[in-house]
Amino acid sequence: MRILARFWKALGSMNLTILLCLLLAADVVWGYAAIRWRTALFIPLNDLGLFAWMQTYGRHNLTYTGWFFALLVLLALLALNTASCTLERVRHVLAARSSLSVVRLAVKLGPHVMHAAVLVILLGYLASYLYTEVVVGTVLLPGRSYTLPGDAGVITFVEFRHEVYQGSRLKVFQGEVIRPEAAMMLSAKGRQREAILGFNQPVRLNGYSIHLSDFAPKKPGGMRLNKRIDLHIRKDPGVVLYLTGIGMFCLGLGLYMLDWRMYREVRQ
Amino acid sequence: MRGVSVRSTAEILLVGIVLLVFLLSGCRQEASQDSDKEDRSGGEARPAFLQIGEFAVHRISANRTEVRDGAGRTLILIPRGAPVPDDCDPRHVVRTPVKRVAAYGYFDVAALRMLGVLDEVLVGVTVPEKEWARCSADVARGMREGRTAYLGDASSIDFERLKQMEPDLVLTWDPSSLPLLDDLHIPAVITSTPQATCLSARMRYVQFLAPFFGREKEADAYFARIDAALRDIRARTAGAGEQPKVMWGDIYEKRVMVEPGNAWVGELVGLAQSSYQFEDVFGTSCIEISVERFLYSGETADIFFTYRSRESGASSKEAIARLNPLIKDIAPLRSGRVFAPQPCYIQSMDKLDEILTEISAIIHPDLYPGYMLKYFDELPDRDTAHDKDTRS
């Protein structure tokens, strides 16, 4: 038990944090080069899921993907290091709570809330890569519909609207669609609503987010391509976690700044 | 205290490294176990997983192979007669070996030829017979004999005709055909990719199609042939003193399209001891860049490969300059060399080894004495009288 306690305490060491950060930096340099040389290896990670990717692309190309496995181990160690360090310090703060006002106690917990937020964000990404349900390669033509997995809803591509570049400064873009927008009809549980789908403007239906990944034609009256939109559909349980993490981080940062403003200035 | 902390850190790090080694060795162990499961039919071991650019082949069992096409869709190949597993979407199941195929692109038709199945399986194309007659006699013969139908232009396919031909599979670059093919219950493979095909993927593409037809041996033989050609190019050009600068693209109505550095031509040029002027451009094949970038690269280029053929107006340097006055001052048009594809180039991707060798011979003519061009034409400075007559 004492060994375990010692191990847990050592896990929260600042030296370990610094070492892990240095190793992470070295690892991502390897990762940068690997992604640059073999981009196609990492594209499926977005839709296959972590385990399926590791069993296929990952383990068959270790020269280029080894850094990712190392990254997972290093991040796991960093998460344990952060958890150990944070819990230890929170324990000390709580032990001294009787001598602190509620506000003082809250602001003292600020940095630890930020650390906990980082862990929640990391957990969110892990959940995303492990449990996201993804549908790739869905193509819709005007007037056509797609039923989401498990009959979660029906999306219908009503019409393609677009904004064409009409300026004169960028000649290469003249007549090109610069803002594609697809009018969609979303139906679920007997209710219908209209929504506009565009780049960086996904629509949501029953837990699924529907993203525009490509469209045609890029230039009205150009190459004779049929009107179509390509969709990337996902149901990502990690989003809630990393949004929560971001919220927690903002709260922690606010408390930390309050601490700095209210108490440290007084001390100085 | 500090000493204890450093020692503890070392312990933790040791645990981390042990974990990492364990994880990686676990992967290696699984991989080796997996290799035991490799398909040894025909006496040759096959990798359980093969990545080919953005395509992939994953042999899960003797009765199930999953392939990932250019659009990232997963298709499940199940041998004829074997039961379809419950977890398979019927729209994505392809029964193998495939017996009837409709192909949209020249490259897909060439791939069928590489696998030795073209005469047996090709039932539909999107280019009329007269276009095939000159360079693809096998396709033209199939069309004459009624085995292969013209399905209409790729952008306006006659789906009634397609249905009549009863294909088991459609090879297409056009994602907009997918909803209509789904309605007809015809599985389709998207054979184009968002990023340009690299040299390795270009060489191995046939290995992606092979499991559809049970022609893995033919695909491996084709790959070995191309690989041998590449080795020869590397060996021949290794000692080349001069490194010519090459550009590949063209201008169409003020839009500049080039082959990016990640495309197979860009990689080949680099491999043949020369310098590709758009090496830093990354993206899709025939990518659009600015006129200024094209002109800047053109200032120092020695060799220019244009997309246009003689038939589409690239009959001489003078003709190209006339078509695109913007580029009339680039170095290859003034003092360098310019090459245009011959009509058979686009239909001859089954002879990739010859094409690669020809590009290498163009770049280093001194290393290939007496080489006769088969897939490209070197453009003269001015039009011949015949060209002028043809144009008028």
* Whether residues B266 and B369 fall in one domain: yes
Q: Which of A 104-123 lie inside 8 A of B, CB atoms? A: none
Q: Could you give the residue range(s) of every CATH 2.60.98 domain in chain A?
A: 135-235
CA distance A169 to chain B (A): 13
d(CA A192, CA A153): 10
Contact flag A216-B176 (C-beta cutoff 8 Å): yes
* Whether residues B208 and B346 fall in one domain: no
Judge whether residue A56 has pLDDT over 60. yes
What mean pLDDT do residues B179-198 have? 92
Per CB-CB distance under 8 Å, the chain A contacts of B291 are 171-172
Report the mean per-residue pLDDT for chain A. 90
What backbone phi and psi angles, to 5 degrees, belong to A191? -110, 150
What mean pLDDT do residues B50-56 have? 93
d(CA B335, CA B303): 10
Q: Which residue of A has its CA nearest to B195?
A: A40
How do residues B303-331 score in pLDDT, each as one tens digit?
Answer: 999 998 888 888 899 999 988 888 888 99
Give strand pairing partners of B117: none
CATH number of residue B138's parent domain: 3.40.50.1980
Judge whether residue A52 has pLDDT over 80. yes
* Whether residues B205 and B242 fall in one domain: no
CA distance B145 to chain A (A): 30
The reported pLDDT for the residue numbered B148 is 96
d(CA A177, CA A166): 10
Evaluate whether A208 touches A235 at the Cβ level (below 8 Å).
yes
**Any chain A CB within 8 A of the CB of B252?**
no
Judge whether residue A265 has pLDDT over 80. no
Facing B179 at nearest CB: one of A47, A141, A223: A141
Contact flag B256-A47 (C-beta cutoff 8 Å): no
CA distance B73 to chain A (A): 6
The reported pLDDT for the residue numbered B392 is 56
* Whether residues B246 and B102 fall in one domain: no
* Whether residues B254 and B387 fall in one domain: yes
The total number of structural domains that make up chain B: 2
The reported pLDDT for the residue numbered B134 is 85
Instruction: Specify the CATH number of the domain A135-235.
Output: 2.60.98
Of residues B60 and B36, more confidence is placed in B60
Judge whether residue A178 has pLDDT over 90. no
Judge whether residue B27 has pLDDT over 70. no
Residue B338 lies in a domain: yes
The reported pLDDT for the residue numbered B141 is 95
How do residues B145-178 score in pLDDT, each as one tens digit?
Answer: 999 999 999 888 999 999 999 999 999 999 999 9
Judge whether residue B113 has pLDDT over 70. yes
Facing B9 at nearest CB: one of A10, A137, A227: A10
* Whether residues B253 and B333 fall in one domain: yes
* Whether residues B179 and B260 fall in one domain: no
Where is B247: in which H helix or E strand?
A: strand B245-252
Judge whether residue A80 has pLDDT over 90. yes
* Whether residues B157 and B282 fall in one domain: no
Q: Interior CA angle at B171 toward A154 and B76, to 5°? A: 65
Facing A228 at nearest CB: one of B175, B195, B291: B175
Contact flag B175-A137 (C-beta cutoff 8 Å): yes
Per CB-CB distance under 8 Å, the chain A contacts of B156 are 224
Of residues B15 and A201, more confidence is placed in A201
Contact flag B5-A227 (C-beta cutoff 8 Å): no
Judge whether residue A240 has pLDDT over 90. yes
* Whether residues B203 and B340 fall in one domain: no
pLDDT-derived band of residue A174, with 50, 70 and 90 as boundaries? confident
d(CA B272, CA B371): 16
How do residues A31-50 score in pLDDT, each as one tens digit?
Answer: 999 998 888 899 999 888 99
Judge whether residue A4 has pLDDT over 90. no
Evaluate whether A110 touches A30 at the Cβ level (below 8 Å).
no
How do residues B240-256 score in pLDDT, each as one tens digit?
Answer: 878 899 999 998 877 88
Q: How many A×B Cβ pairs under 8 Å?
A: 122
**Any chain B CB within 8 A of the CB of A54?**
yes
Q: Determine which of A115-119, A201-205, B270-274 has the lowest per-residue pLDDT on average.
A: B270-274
* Whether residues B242 and B379 fall in one domain: yes
Q: Interior CA angle at B354 toward B348 and B359, to 5°? A: 100
Judge whether residue B4 has pLDDT over 50. no
What mean pLDDT do residues B48-68 have? 93
What backbone phi and psi angles, to 5 degrees, belong to B219? -65, -40
The reported pLDDT for the residue numbered B252 is 82
What mean pLDDT do residues B341-361 have? 92
In total, chain A counts a number of residues equal to 268
**pTM to 2 decimal places:** 0.84
Evaluate whether B193 touches B55 at the Cβ level (below 8 Å).
yes
Q: At what angle do helices A14-37 and B2-36 cross, to 10 degrees?
A: 30
CA distance B20 to chain A (A): 6
Judge whether residue B14 has pLDDT over 70. no
The residue segments making up the domain with residue B311 are 238-391
E-strand ranges in chain A read 133-140, 145-147, 154-164, 177-188, 191-198, 203-205, 208-216, 228-235
Contact flag B9-A16 (C-beta cutoff 8 Å): yes
How do residues A59-78 score in pLDDT, each as one tens digit?
Answer: 999 999 999 999 999 999 99
Per CB-CB distance under 8 Å, the chain B contacts of A43 are 54, 72
* Whether residues B180 and B245 fall in one domain: no
